[in-house]
Structure 1
Amino acid sequence: MSRRAMLGGALVGGAALALPFPAMAVGTEWRLAIRNVHNNETVDALFARNGTFLPEGLAELNHGLRDWRTGEATVMDRRLLALLVQLRDKLELSGSSKINLISGYRSPATNAALRAKGGEHTGVASQSQHMLGKATDIMVPGVTLDRLHGAALALGGGGVGYYPRDGFVHVDTGRVRHW
């Protein structure tokens, strides 16, 4: 093996190990179980192990978090996936506890339609983090929205929106803010 090939491999390997917050300890696995409330599809995916992201698990989550209206998917922000694991852990739930997904990725067409519809969707941002694969609207069975909201705020991992009338909490990896 040439020195150039070895260095290239080390750089690629190092990039694969460079994880977003929180740092992943050796022997640790990150798994997410989600259920889309609109189509009842479920995903239970192991997406990182020992500091390395697993392409198969990431692909499952990208599919599960797709725009359920159009079927379009995107590459979801790995920091968001890690934040959801952190949130579940903060709530002291098991790795197999399902997070109910109200909205994950939103295509620009879906986002524009929701903005135009108004009504309950008046809070839809024109440059939504959902369109960047950096946001989810969620609820967790057996966990009050107040508790979910408080746990998300305590993590300080990005934006947190509280929608008690609509029954969900928004979590994103944009700048830290809340509403």
Structure 2
Amino acid sequence: MLQRILENHVGDDTDIASSRRRFIKHLACGALLTMGSPAIAHAAKGRFPSHKSLAFEHTHTGDKLKLTYFEKNRYIKTALHEINLLLRDYRTDDIYPIDVKLLDQLHDLKLMLGTGNRPFHIISGYRSPYTNGRMHAESSGVANNSLHMQGRAIDIRVEGMDSRHIRNAALALHRGGVGYYRESDFVHLDTGNFRFW
């Protein structure tokens, strides 16, 4: 396949090297997905799970939640409402709909990590514009137009698991933004374009 890509490619050596790197990266990601867990391997082959569940524990509020949010090819409204409530802006109690793509990203990450029913520890879910503005004023690490304000970002860790391992698995999924904050020991995920820092 790589040979076919290179034969059909017209461009300079930089383009060819870039194509090779991209191909190898996608090949490595596919291998990681296949090794990650049987459920991820089935999903990669087009066999999607009949239900999806997640567990959360909010580090600031102590709220805990374990539920199925997708079943029989549909998202469960009551479950999504409970997730929205747990992932609210705990500083202002504002609630906002969390992007289901973010939940699916977390579900696939859970399968990749093989964490079973262990909860994702939530550092930050939804942030109101007020909260985000205050945090941005205090820290250059908080984006002024953060996807947290759109319910499209979450900051997580898993108890007993190195956050670098979580970051590496999230990168292998090759979806959305993946940020690694070593000193604060958490990983940021979002449903924006694929990028990492």
Same fold (TM over 0.5): yes
Note closer, same or farther for the CA distance 1:59–1:161 as it changes in structure 2 (3 Å cut).
same
Displacement, 1:24? 6.8
Displacement, 1:156? 0.9
1:134 corresponds to:
152
Unaligned runs of 5+ in 1: 1-20
1:25 corresponds to:
48
Would you say how many aligned residue pairs link Structure 1 and Structure 2?
Answer: 154
SS of residue paired to 2:85: helix
What amino acid sits opposite 1:66 in the alignment?
Answer: R
CA distance in structure 2 between the aligned counterparts of 1:72 and 1:38, rounded to whole angstroms? 15
Of the three residues 63, 76, 80, the one matched with 1:41 is: 63
Displacement, 1:140? 0.5
2:76 corresponds to:
54
CA distance in structure 2 between the aligned counterparts of 1:97 and 1:174, rounded to whole angstroms? 26
Superposed CA RMSD: 1.5
CA distance in structure 2 between the aligned counterparts of 1:115 and 1:80, rounded to whole angstroms? 23
What amino acid sits opposite 1:172 in the alignment?
Answer: D
Of the three residues 113, 122, 133, the one matched with 1:101 is: 122
Q: Which structure shows the bigger proportion of residues in helix conformation?
A: 2
2:184 corresponds to:
166
SS of residue paired to 1:136: strand
What amino acid sits opposite 1:110 in the alignment?
Answer: T
SS of residue paired to 1:32: strand
2:195 corresponds to:
177
- Per-residue CA deviations over 1:20-72 (Å, capped at 9, x if unaligned) read x987736x211111011011111112110121100111111111111111111
Structure 1's consecutive aligned runs of 4 or more residues displaced over 2 angstroms after TM superposition are: 21-26
Contact 1:25 1:50 in 2 (8 A): no
Contact 1:139 1:167 in 2 (8 A): yes
CA distance in structure 1 between the aligned counterparts of 2:63 and 2:180, rounded to whole angstroms? 24
Of the three residues 76, 86, 103, the one matched with 1:81 is: 103
Instruction: Trace 1:108-119 onto structure 2 (pairs within 5 A).
Output: 108-118=129-139
What amino acid sits opposite 1:140 in the alignment?
Answer: V
CA distance in structure 2 between the aligned counterparts of 1:64 and 1:92, rounded to whole angstroms? 23
Identity %: 38
CA distance in structure 2 between the aligned counterparts of 1:146 and 1:176, rounded to whole angstroms? 18
Quick check: which has more Rg, 1 or 2? 2
